[in-house]
């Protein structure tokens, strides 16, 4: 891949904002040769189809040159409590999670819909990584969801709203909502994706995220 990336290179200059995010960003000077995607599932259940979507993303990413997908788990994160921030340091589990987000070039969310919104564990993870310095800032991102009816779409739209404040740059299209309960079967009993068309749609989404990441971070040396 001709282009190299600078993770966190699209930094804002001396802006201020209220709330948990600030103008200070997590940043890195490392210039990776591949696009590194941190993939986060909003469901903690072992057999969750959203865990399965992440596994499928990792599988199909192996056929995409210059792309690497890593599953970043959120099940060990404590509930957000600023009393846990001691002497400028977060709990070890939070520090590890924040470091995973910091080193990533872009983010893939697998977001279930609970009561018209994202899950509590996912929101908790977003809040922890938004604490100063904000590790989400200027990261390209995309979302995949599965469910009945709208395919989890309401969770995606709510997540996009939250992304505005933490300075995530969401890919507009393609969108991917998997109708989990409509034939043909999309998942097996363990939540694994068994539908080839769905796998191809995930692959197309990842390629679009890769191109979006390069577009936002390109240093002038080339493009895909």
Domain 35-217, classified CATH 3.40.50.360, yes or no: yes
**219 band by pLDDT with thresholds 50, 70 and 90:** low
Give domain limits for the chain.
35-217
Task: Dihedral sign for Cα 87, 88, 93, 96, please.
Answer: negative
For the chain, counts of helices (H) and of strands (E): 5, 6
Rounded percentage of the chain residues whose pLDDT exceeds 90: 79
Q: What is the pLDDT of residues 180-205, one digit of tens each?
A: 999 999 999 999 999 999 999 999 99
φ/ψ of 134, rounded to 5, equals -65, 115
SS3 at position 201: helix
- The mean predicted confidence, pLDDT, of the chain is 87
Contact 109, 40 (CB under 8 A): yes
CB 137 within 8 A of CB 165: no
pTM for the model:
0.84
């Amino acid at each position: 891949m001709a282009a190299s990336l600078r993770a966190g290179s699209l930094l804002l200059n001396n802006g201020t904002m209220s709330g948990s995010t600030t103008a200070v960003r997590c940043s890195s000077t490392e210039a990776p040769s591949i696009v590194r995607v941190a993939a986060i599932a909003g469901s903690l259940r072992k057999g969750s189809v959203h865990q399965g979507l992440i596994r499928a993303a990792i599988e199909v990413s192996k056929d995409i040159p210059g792309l690497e997908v890593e599953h970043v788990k959120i099940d060990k994160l404590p509930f957000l409590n600023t009393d846990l921030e001691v002497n400028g340091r977060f709990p070890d589990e939070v520090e590890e999670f924040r470091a995973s987000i910091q080193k990533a070039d872009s983010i893939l969310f697998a977001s279930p819909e609970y009561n018209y919104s994202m899950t509590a564990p996912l929101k908790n993870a977003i809040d922890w990584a938004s604490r100063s310095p904000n590790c989400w800032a200027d990261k390209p991102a995309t979302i995949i969801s599965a469910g009945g009816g709208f395919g989890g779409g309401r969770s995606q739209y709510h997540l996009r709203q939250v992304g505005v404040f933490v300075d995530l740059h969401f890919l507009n299209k393609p969108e991917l909502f998997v109708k989990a309960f409509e034939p043909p079967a999309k998942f097996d009993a363990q939540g694994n994706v068994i539908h080839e068309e769905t796998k191809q749609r995930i692959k197309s989404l990842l390629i679009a995220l890769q191109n979006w990441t390069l577009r936002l971070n390109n240093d002038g040396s080339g493009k895909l």
